[in-house]
Amino acid sequence: MVLGDLPRRSPSLSRVLALDYGRRRIGVAISDPTRTIAQPLPTLVRRRGKRPPFTRILQLTEERDVDEIVVGLPLLASGDEGLMAEEVREFADGLARRSGLPVEFWDERLTSVQAERALARLDLPASSRREKQRVDAMAAVIILQAYLDARQQS
């Protein structure tokens, strides 16, 4: 097969961006254009007392042809929403207003635990800051992959 034989990417194929919102870091993941596979992007680090990095997130949506955003919603073990869920909803509302894109929520219970276990199996060298960023990025991947899988099954 030569390069000219490869199928061209349809301009209608766009990606889904997932965010694992936190007060210090925001894990980020992106789908492939077919919306089948999630992969991590660099974690966004927030400065204390500063608002979320909306500008950088909006840049990502433009650079990566994103037309939908998924935000992990931290529910309590009971399934109810707590204070952090309220903060995440406010963040998502601000993001939807600024981007004009649909923002969906996905239950993120236990994604950090799953992310820590997955990373432990990789046996990567640890530095505490880098490790936390990896966990946040992997949690975003887990959120997005679950969302993509559920969409394909429906």
pLDDT tens for each residue of 73-128: 998 888 899 899 999 999 999 999 999 999 999 998 766 556 555 555 555 555 55
Domain limits for position 85 = 13-153
Instruction: Establish if 131 belongs to a structural domain.
Output: yes
pLDDT in tens, 133-146: 777 888 999 999 99
Instruction: Establish if 137 belongs to a structural domain.
Output: yes
Q: How many domains does the chain have?
A: 1
C-alpha pair distances (Å), 117 with each of 37, 108, 111: 20, 15, 10
pLDDT in tens, 25-73: 999 999 999 999 999 999 999 888 788 999 999 999 999 999 999 999 9
Residue appearing with tokens 């880098």: 130
pLDDT in the model for residue 134: 78
CATH code, 81? 3.30.420.140
